[in-house]
Structure 1
Amino acid sequence: MQEFTVLERKESYFLCRKGTGHCRIIIDENSQTLPLGTFMLHAEEISDRYTHHANDSVFRLLMPFEQQGNIDICTLATGRKNHFVYKRCLQLGGKWEPVLNEWVFSAAIKHEVDKLAEQINSELLYIEATFNETIKLTTGPLTLFGYPLVKSVGSNGRVQLNYGVKLTAGEIVCMPADTVQTIILADSKVQLFVPKALLELSSCHEDFLCIVDIEKKRKPRKKPTFPW
């Protein structure tokens, strides 16, 4: 749940304050009866500057206002670290519980949590990604379908790949600067396991995938048991 202060009702949205900034909650069947005031709400961020014609954050309630006090919970074990899965858990108002090693959500959105679980636990495909151009990243870690490729970086810029990731051609290097720059050279090939649903889900695709060829490969005889 997230705290919102509802300041004013407009024609199609509520003007709200969240933290130190302003945001909006769209008016739909779940928020029709939302009053002014400060509340803890189950909400999902759906910000899209092209759809909503604004740069502020936009949210929608995940359940009717009258049901927002539901304290029953459900949990989700997400397995391997994944950037897009992490973002989706936050969008659903989830909270990471280190004692359980799982995400905790309101049971009122169990249908959304179950959907995410099905995607994460869908059939594992073994793929090979061929990078047709050199890619340089400075804004975040190098990922494929949300899975970070690099585990650590040596003093010489050489990288150690994450468990289950195999570089079969080319090179990945990290260059120290004001911000760390990760470079994967053209014609590099990377192999890893990816759940089928995430492979097909456009929201789990990096922007640079348009210059990457993806090919399904025969699975190794021994599938790795991921340690997280």
Structure 2
Amino acid sequence: MRQVVLDTETTGIDPKQGHRIIEIGCVEMVGRKLTNRHFHVYINPQREVEEEAFNVHGIGDDFLADKPLFAAIAQDFLDFIKGAELVIHNAPFDVGHIDNEFSKLGNFPKVADVCTVFDSLAYARKKHPGQKNNLDALCKRYGIDNSHRELHGALLDSEILADVYLLMTGGQISMNGLGGADSDDYEAQLAVRRLSPDRPPLRVLRASDEELALHEERLDLIDKKSGLSLWRKLENPPLEHESD
């Protein structure tokens, strides 16, 4: 299954009041694994950014002045998300802005016509009723380090949301099997750290001749006490034409 975790930043809240998208950030997952493919662009909205919105994301008019218009990136963006399940925190907000931008161009579909949408905020509210479920609160709840997130940013937030989504929807979340988000020591169990794809390969430690000999002696003892050991049965399975 192909999923695209998506976030946008805008000039303000309501597209019906003329507000526009100024940043889109997407990361791709296939089979619940990040692929390192992403889509990220800043956009000239052809209008001023409201002060309240600027205080959230820190993206100003001067920075956006030389960025492409939405029309210039629309097809590439559509090609990236088409056919995927979109994972979005508070999906109606982002989808509403995207549909508004597509509608201005004509001959572009609505998001619902080309994608399915998973609203991670709605899911979090059902999973953790009566609790804060914004992205910062979920990072704290699931032990995700977001200390580098001083302001909102579409690509950074989509990367963080991907980690939140995988933990929130993944059942067992620790290698030691100590349970999930409802366990008392949950936060102590988790430490999410993304490894670099350029890291050196893991070192393979092979048994020495002495260790292999001791292993065979142990198998001989098992054979003597209880018949052929399971280990040797797995090492030497009977051929298909052999009878019992």
TM-score range, shorter chain: under 0.3
Q: Which has the higher strand share?
A: 1
* TM-score (ref. length: structure 2): 0.26
Bigger radius of gyration among the two: 2
* TM-score (ref. length: structure 1): 0.27
Q: Which has the higher helix share?
A: 2
